[in-house]
Structure 1
Amino acid sequence: MAPGVLTETPPTNLEHSGTKKSHTAQDNYGNYFPVEPEKLSLESNYGPMKPGTVGYLQPTSADTPIDVMHERFKRDGYLHIKDLLPKDKVLQCRRAYFEHMSPSGLLKPGSDPVTGTYCGADSRKYMPPGNLRRLFGLKDDPESDKYVELMISAHEAEFYTNFCEISELRDFVRKFTGWEKEIMLQRTMLRAFVPNSELTPVHYDQMYLRGGPPTSLTAWVPIGDVSLEGGGLMYLQNSDDIGRATEEEFARNAGNLTEEERVSAFNKNMNDGGFLSRDTVEFGQKVQRKWLITEYETGDVIFHNPFMVHASCKNKDPNSYIRLATDLRFVNPEQPYDTRWMKVYRPLDGL
C-alpha cells in the first residue's frame, strides 16, 4: 500500500453512542464506505437527494506525504484529514458547548451533554441565528431568545477559544501552506444543526471574503462524530471552476456597485442571503456534478479552498444527535486579506 493512502475508512466508532457500521460501498479511489448513497436518508430543503447525485469524499491520513496532500488539494479542492486532532480535546469542547447551551432546553432531558441528543422540539426554534432565521421570519432577539443569546456568546467562551488554538491544527496549517505564521480570522462560525432543521445553503467562501484576495484556507472542524445522515458538510465534485466562474461573472457585473457593495455578498446582484441556492439537488443536477459526503469522526478536519462549492443535507441522524462543527479560516499575515473578518461573529453583521 502506498504511504498515506487509505484503502479503507476506519469503522465509525461514536464514543458517545457505540454505533458501528460495516463497509459495503466503494468510491472511485478504492476507498470503502458503510453504505451505497441511495440507501441513506439524505434530504435537501426540497425533498430527498435523488439516486445518482451523491458520492463519497476521499479520506487522507494525517501521515500522508505533504506533496501528495498538495496534489489532492489541487485536484479536488478539499482535503479530508483523518484523526488530525486529539479526540479528548474535541470531546471536551463538545461537552462544554452543550453544557453551555443546556439552559436553552436544546438537549433531551437526562441525556449526557457530550452526546448532544436533541430534545425533539420544533427545529425552527433552534435554527442558527442570522440570515436563515431572518428568511424564515424568526426574530433574533438576545433579550428574549435564550438559545440565540447562548449560541452567540459561545463564540467568545473560553472552551471554544481554547479549542481554536489546538496546536495540532495550527501546526498542520503552517506545514500545509508553507506560511511562517498563520492568522485565524476572528470571525469564526460555531454551528449546531438539530435534526430536520434548515440545511447549509449552496455557497463558496470567497463570496463572503471579497475584501481580500482568494488566498484563505478554510478548516471545517466537526466537534464530535457526524454520521452519514447527520448533515455534515458536503462538496460539489470538482466545483472549484464553478466558484471561480461565478466570481468572475460577478466582477464583470459589478460596475454599477459602490466599493462597499462590491465586496458584499448581500448586494443587489446576489441572492438574498448571499448563497448560490437553497436547492442542493437542483443546483447539482444543473451543473451535472455529484455531491460528495462522508461520515466525520472525532478528530477529523476537512480543508477547502475559497472557491469550492459546498452545502449540507438536513440532519437525519438516526440517534437524534445534533451536528456541531465550526468554520475556521486562516490567512498569511504577510499578505493582504479581508480585514473585515477580524472581529467576533454577530448575527446579521454584514458578512
Structure 2
Amino acid sequence: MITSNGYVLDQSPARFAYLSPVPASERADRDALWRRLREDGYLYLSNHLDPGVVNNFREYYFTKLAETGLVRVGTEPSLGVGAPGEVNRASLRRILFDEIVPGAAYGGLTAHPDIKDWFAWLLGDEVHLHKRKIIRHVRPGETGIGTATQAHYDLVYLREGSEHVLSMWIPLGDTPIEMGGLAYLEGSHHWALAAERNGTRKHPAASITADLPGLADTHDARWLLSDFHAGDVMVHSAFAVHAATDNVDPENRIRLSTDIRYQRAGEPIDWRWQEHWSDRDGL
C-alpha cells in the first residue's frame, strides 16, 4: 500500500505506473532530451551521479545531526536508521540551517560538475543555481497532512523570475518506493501550463492538494513512481505536478533528498530564492 499524507494511492493500471528512465541512446542527445522533457515534463536520469558522492553526503548529513537524536545510536550514519522518540529540534535547526545548508559539503554537491556542467550543456548557456536549495528528511512512520510534500508545480513558488527554471530532485541514497520518494502526475505539465496561460488556475496556488488519489481522478491520470538508487536524479519543468509519498520503510531508514534549481543566467531570476533556505523564509 502506497500513501501520501495518509491518502491511499490507487494502484490500478489507470492510476499508477512507473517512471520511464531516459534510454542510454538519448543521454547524450540534447535535442532528444528536450523533446522528452516537453512531452513528459520530466527527465529520469538513472545513475547520473557517482553513487559514492551521494552516499558520502548522506553519511556526512546524518553524522552532523547524530547529536540531535535523529539517528539510532550504534548504527552506521550512512544508513540513516531513525531513532525512536523525539529529536532535539533546536539543535537540529541550528546544525541544519547554520552549518549544513550554507556549508562547503552541500555547496560542492549541488554545484558538482556532473550537475552544473550538465545543465550548462542542456541549456546551451551559462547557468545560475538558485541559492535557496532545500534538503528534506522524512522519518519512517511520520503521517498526516503536511508530512509529505503535497501536490504542486514549482512555478507557484517562483513567480518573480523565469518560468523556464528547471528543478533537479536528488535522492540522497537508495530510495525505494516504501521510503517515500517523488511521484509525478502524468501529463500534468500540459494542463498546468494551459491553466497559467488562460487564467483558470485555481487558488490557493501554493499547494494544489494533499489528496493525490482525488487529483488523479480529476485529471484521469496516473501517478508515476520509481524505486530510486543513489546516483539517480529527476529533472522537471516548472509546470510538472509532483508530490512525495509517505515513508513506511520496514528497515526504519530515513528518506533524505534535496531539490535544487538551475536556469539560464541571462533570464530573469527570482530574487527571493537568492538566500540560503530556511524553514522560516516564508516561501
Question: What TM-score results when the alignment is normalised by the length of structure 1?
Answer: 0.73
Equivalent-residue separation in structure 1 for 2:281 and 2:194 (angstroms): 27
2:138 corresponds to 1:193? yes
* One-letter amino acid of the counterpart of residue 235, structure 1: Y
Aligned to 2:282: 350
2:202 corresponds to 1:284? no
2:106 corresponds to 1:157? no
Over 3 Å counting, the alpha-carbon distance change for 1:109 and 1:184 in structure 2 is same
Equivalent-residue separation in structure 2 for 1:66 and 1:93 (angstroms): 29
Equivalent-residue separation in structure 2 for 1:168 and 1:61 (angstroms): 18
Instruction: Render the CA deviation track for 1:223-270: whole Å, top value 9, x for unaligned.
Output: 1110121111110001002322443465889xxxxxxxxxxxxxxx52
Aligned to 1:44: 4
* One-letter amino acid of the counterpart of residue 155, structure 1: V
Aligned to 2:31: 67
1:270 aligns with one of 194, 201, 204:
204
Q: Secondary structure at the match of 1:60?
A: coil
Equivalent-residue separation in structure 1 for 2:270 and 2:221 (angstroms): 30
Q: Secondary structure at the match of 1:169?
A: helix
2:20 corresponds to 1:58? yes
Equivalent-residue separation in structure 2 for 1:315 and 1:245 (angstroms): 33
Return the offset for 1:103: 1.0
Asked whether the 8 Å contact 2:22–2:43 carries over to 1, the reply is yes
Q: Secondary structure at the match of 2:227?
A: coil
Equivalent-residue separation in structure 2 for 1:291 and 1:204 (angstroms): 14
Equivalent-residue separation in structure 1 for 2:199 and 2:96 (angstroms): 33
| Stretch moving more, 216-225 or 315-324 | 315-324
Return the offset for 1:195: 1.2
Aligned to 1:224: 173
1:199-218 equivalence runs, <5 A = 199-218=148-167
Q: Secondary structure at the match of 1:159?
A: helix
Return the offset for 1:150: 2.5
**Structure 2: runs of 5+ lacking an equivalent:** none
Q: Secondary structure at the match of 1:350?
A: coil
Asked whether the 8 Å contact 1:189–1:326 carries over to 2, the reply is yes
**Structure 1: runs of 5+ lacking an equivalent:** 1-40, 127-141, 254-268
What is the alpha-carbon root mean square deviation over aligned residues?
2.0
Return the offset for 1:145: 2.1
Return the offset for 1:158: 2.0
Asked whether the 8 Å contact 1:220–1:303 carries over to 2, the reply is yes
Equivalent-residue separation in structure 2 for 1:218 and 1:301 (angstroms): 10
Larger radius of gyration: 1
Equivalent-residue separation in structure 1 for 2:140 and 2:201 (angstroms): 40
Q: How many residues align?
A: 274
Q: Secondary structure at the match of 1:195?
A: coil
* One-letter amino acid of the counterpart of residue 50, structure 2: P
Asked whether the 8 Å contact 1:97–1:159 carries over to 2, the reply is no
Instruction: Name the % identity.
Output: 28
Equivalent-residue separation in structure 2 for 1:307 and 1:245 (angstroms): 10
Asked whether the 8 Å contact 1:61–1:82 carries over to 2, the reply is no
Equivalent-residue separation in structure 1 for 2:35 and 2:174 (angstroms): 27
Asked whether the 8 Å contact 1:207–1:247 carries over to 2, the reply is no
1:242 aligns with one of 184, 191, 213:
191
2:248 corresponds to 1:302? no
Asked whether the 8 Å contact 1:221–1:302 carries over to 2, the reply is yes
Return the offset for 1:213: 2.6
Return the offset for 1:157: 2.1
Equivalent-residue separation in structure 2 for 1:149 and 1:243 (angstroms): 37
2:40 corresponds to 1:76? yes
